[in-house]
Amino acid sequence: MGQVATVSITQDDVGCSCLLSGLDNLQGILRISMESIEENCRRLKALGAEAEILDGPEVKQRAPGLGVDVRAALFDPSGALVDAVEISRALAADAVSRGAEIREHEPVRSIVMRGGRAEGVRTDKGEIAADAVVVAAGVWSPFLAEDLGVKIPIIPRRGQLLYTEKTDIVSRHLIQNASYVLDKTAGERADEEAMPRFRFSFTLHQHGPGHCVLGSTREFAGYDERLTDEGRRVIREATKEWFPEVGSLRIDREVAGLRPWMPDHHPLIGPSSDIEGLWYATGHEGDGINYAPFTAKSIAAQMAGKTVEIPGVDPAVLLPGRLGL
């Protein structure tokens, strides 16, 4: 995809605070102060981003269809928007070309254990032996681990999206209400029971001339992947407020999916602390496509006795052992 910027916006009593970020890992701000904007800017620059703070009129220039007032923004023009489905297909094809085997329509039912070690998986068509087993099943990861007496604290969190009819370019930016991101990262640890069952933060992106993708909800609704009237309503109402031009478009498609939410907001990337041969690469919530390259490199490196570093991130916060897994 071409270069795009990302706009994360949130409304408050005196207008809007806005974050434009081109990074894959979007940072959000909700009812924030300028100090918070400046801190996010410093953090993004430390990661190599070309971040800068814009004022309201500058934001309007970059997102002229915006229907709300904006006070300030954090902008980084160096990001890109990818199609998660297409990039997944491309990565799968590349893996096959390098000797990997992908078995479709063959669900894994359990992990094969022998002598206290994970030595393969059991599918509907029999056993597949392996030197190592990586649990990377998203929201379904807990089901694979529970037979081993392991309780992975992943909880499904539903997201609903609407696709408009095809239209000319509305915005070259990925637009997000900042609460979309803060909802994932606020606090050291979150208790599912204390979290609201239904949350919504406006998002919009468009892959050139074509459908506008609108969202998104964050809901604790178990493993229910159905769309709801409430979800449709809040997305449409927010779209009319944030981007009136888009709000009048016909909806051509609706989708819903489940995100693997972790109470401490960190994925599990690394070996089991007590089962030899068992590894985890799961719990990324809605950031799996962003973290996939690092996750793969990290797992491969750890299997080889090495590490992969992320600037400013303590690798220990990603290891399953932090939760006794």
Q: What torsion do the CA atoms of 98, 100, 101, 106 make, to the nearest 10 degrees?
A: -140
Rg over CA atoms, the chain: 21
Positive or negative torsion for Cα 271, 273, 274, 280: negative
The predicted-structure confidence for 50-84, as pLDDT tens digits, reads as follows 888 888 888 888 888 888 877 777 777 776 677 88
pTM: 0.82
- Sequence spans of domains, the chain: 5-81+155-261, 86-154+265-323
Q: Which class for 34: exposed (0-12), middle (13-18), buried (19 or more C-beta within 10 A)? A: exposed
Put the strands of the sheet holding 133-135 in their side by side order: 133-135, 278-282, 268-271
- Annotate 199-234 with b (16+ C-beta within 10 A) or e (fewer): bbbbbbbbbeeebbbbbbbbbbbeeeeebbeebeeb
Q: What is the pLDDT of residue 71?
A: 75
> Helices 84-97 and 288-303, interaxial angle, to 10°?
30
Q: Which two tokens stand for residue 89?
A: 């297909």
The Cβ of residue 50 has, within 10 Å, a number of other Cβ atoms equal to 13
Mean pLDDT by 10 residues, the chain (325 residues): 35 34 32 64 81 82 81 72 85 94 94 95 95 96 94 95 91 70 51 68 82 92 95 94 92 95 93 96 90 90 87 84 95
Q: CA separation (Å) from 232 to 72, 226, 269? A: 29, 11, 34
On whether the CB atoms of residues 280 and 141 are closer than 8 A, the answer is yes
Q: Which class for 302: exposed (0-12), middle (13-18), buried (19 or more C-beta within 10 A)? A: middle
- Mention the CATH class of domain 86-154+265-323: alpha beta
- Alpha carbons 56 and 259: distance in angstroms, whole number: 33
Which alpha helices (H) appear in 177-317, and where do they start and end?
Answer: 179-185, 229-242, 244-247, 288-303
- Mention the CATH class of domain 5-81+155-261: alpha beta
